[in-house]
Amino acid sequence: MTRATGTYNITTLNEFIIERQADFPYAKGELSRLLHHVGVAAKVVNKKINKAGLVDILGRAGDVNVQGEDVQKLDLFANEHFIAALRSTGECCAIASEEDQEITVFDDGLPLDGKYVFCMDPLDGSSNIDVNVSVGTIFSIYRRRTERGTPADLSDFLQPGTEQVAAGYVIYGSSTMLVYTTGKGVNGFTLDPTIGEFCLSHPDIRTPEHGTIYSINEGNYAHFPAGVKQFIKHCQVVDPDTHRPYTSRYIGSLVSDVHRNLLKGGVFLYPSTQKAPQGKLRLLYECNPIAMIAEQAGGKASDGARRILEIPPEDLHQRVPFYVGSRQMVETVERCLAEAR
Ligand code: AHG
Ligand code: MN
Ligand code: MN
Ligand code: MN
């Protein structure tokens, strides 16, 4: 008789979701189904991105979105596929997307009864698509506030980030990863294309209290708040005892910059600029989900004065200044901003 020798110690995303279901006695599997479908949609988008140079998916779609940005074909492809996947679960009754001015309400049949609403940046870092640099998808899930069985409305989405039941991102990089939290820590899954499964590769991610990386588009220096200029100077002081000067790393895709800093330690800054007086990044589907991930991993996220997760949203596409990453580094940014006021 031959004895099985190999240990098959892979935990797939679906196994993990089911195992962790025990954390939520009230949940009857709806959130699990939703997360499973996020994984399915991520695999579909990933396949397209992996051959973006070969199929007609690069370049502009020819129109401008509510953000005033040239929409890329992949923005639309990702948007359509995430909406289709989420509609099919019947667990989500409406979606807010960077690419759509208004919310998409699923008001026909099953989805009307969905317990959750979904906010997303379907394709983050669009400017990097055509030059083969990592891009991502960012998502945030809330319990709906309106009555189940009725069409969802804006009030379901204008909830503070502290109300998120789950948040995460997909990074389509050298490998494709799904990183998410349901409020009990952060876990990362790497897609194994040979078996088409997201496999647990980064259990219980903790971000270093301090790091030596700062990420900011210094091209906007002239218009940064004085406190941000002060922080940049602080990063550039030559002081071996505090490992300075720090390293400047900026990819221009939020998910990529955040993911690197989450694992290695560091701080990402997108302050107000002349072009973006409220900051460029959107509260609902970029800052809140990333802030929940950062806090769950032991880091911090603020608009320079307020905790991101406590900012009451007033508009689907509201922008805020965004400082996120290693706790001590975000606190240093906040101190520089306070001293400069
Ligand atoms: P999106 O592609 O979803 O519109 O987001 C782009 C964002 C974010 O990914 C990145 O951090 C930031 O734009 C880069 O902005 P700048 O090019 O102004 O630095
Ligand atoms: Mn965009
Ligand atoms: Mn984005
Ligand atoms: Mn986007």
Helix (H) or strand (E) holding 285: none
Segment among 51-65, 215-229, 274-288 with least mean pLDDT: 51-65
DSSP assignment of 103-138: -EE--SSGGGG-SEEEEEEEEETGGGGGGT--EEEE
Please report the pLDDT score of residue 22 as a whole number. Answer: 74
Do 277 and 186 share a domain, yes or no?
A: no
Last residue of a domain, one of 140, 172, 202: 202
256 assigned binding-site residue:
no
124 assigned binding-site residue:
yes
In angstroms, the CA 78 to CA 157 distance is 21
Q: What percent of the chain has pLDDT over 70?
A: 93
Which phi and psi angles does 162 have, rounded to 5°?
A: -65, -20
What are the residues facing 254 on neighbouring strands?
none
Q: How far is the CA of 270 from the centre of ligand 1 (A)?
A: 9
CA 39, 307, 230, 208 dihedral sign is negative
Taking residue 223's Cβ as centre, other Cβ atoms within 10 Å add up to 15
Do 86 and 218 share a domain, yes or no?
A: no
Taking residue 276's Cβ as centre, other Cβ atoms within 10 Å add up to 15
**Residue 85: burial class (beta carbons within 10 Å; 0-12, 13-18, 19+):** buried
- Specify the residue with its C-alpha closest to ligand 1, atom 15: 252
Distance from the first to the final alpha carbon of the chain: 77
Could you list the residue range(s) of the whole structural domain that residue 113 is in? Answer: 3-202
Ligand 1, residues at Cβ distance < 6 Å: 69, 98, 121, 124-127, 217, 252-254, 280
pLDDT at 245 over 90: yes
Question: Complex ipTM above 0.85?
Answer: yes
Residues lying with their CB under 5 A of ligand 4, a single-atom ion: 98, 121, 123-124
Looking at residue 25, which CATH number applies to its domain?
3.30.540.10
280 assigned binding-site residue:
yes
Taking residue 91's Cβ as centre, other Cβ atoms within 10 Å add up to 24
* Pairing, β 186-192 against β 60-64: unpaired
Last residue of a domain, one of 182, 202, 222: 202
Specify the higher pLDDT residue, 320 or 66: 320
Choice from 71, 124, 260 to test ligand 1 binding pocket (greatest atom count within 8 A of CB): 124
Segment among 234-238, 275-279, 308-312 with least mean pLDDT: 275-279
Specify the higher pLDDT residue, 180 or 151: 180
Do 125 and 273 share a domain, yes or no?
A: no
Name the DSSP class of 284: I
Looking from the CA of residue 127, the nearest atom of ligand 1 is 2
Last residue of a domain, one of 202, 228, 252: 202
Do 175 and 241 share a domain, yes or no?
A: no
Does residue 141 lie in a domain region? yes
Please report the pLDDT score of residue 18 as a whole number. Answer: 86
Q: How many domains does the chain have?
A: 2
Do 195 and 58 share a domain, yes or no?
A: yes
Segment among 26-30, 34-38, 193-197, 317-321 with least mean pLDDT: 26-30
What is the per-residue pLDDT across 194-240, written as a single tens digit (0 to 9) for each? 999 999 999 999 999 999 999 999 999 999 999 999 999 999 999 99
In angstroms, the CA 338 to CA 270 distance is 17
Specify the higher pLDDT residue, 218 or 52: 218
pLDDT at 159 over 70: yes
Arithmetic mean of pLDDT, 135-147: 96
Arithmetic mean of pLDDT, 168-176: 95
Does residue 207 lie in a domain region? no
Segment among 9-18, 25-34, 154-163 with least mean pLDDT: 25-34
Looking at residue 217, which CATH number applies to its domain?
3.40.190.80
* Pairing, β 60-64 against β 267-270: unpaired
Tracing tokens 């940005």 back to the chain, one arrives at: 69
126 assigned binding-site residue:
yes
Cβ atoms of 286 and 121 within 8 Å: the answer is yes
Query: What is the chain's mean pLDDT, rounded?
Result: 92
Do 78 and 192 share a domain, yes or no?
A: yes
Q: How far is residue 55 from each of residues 40, 62, 113, 304, 331, measured CA to CA in Å?
A: 21, 17, 38, 42, 45
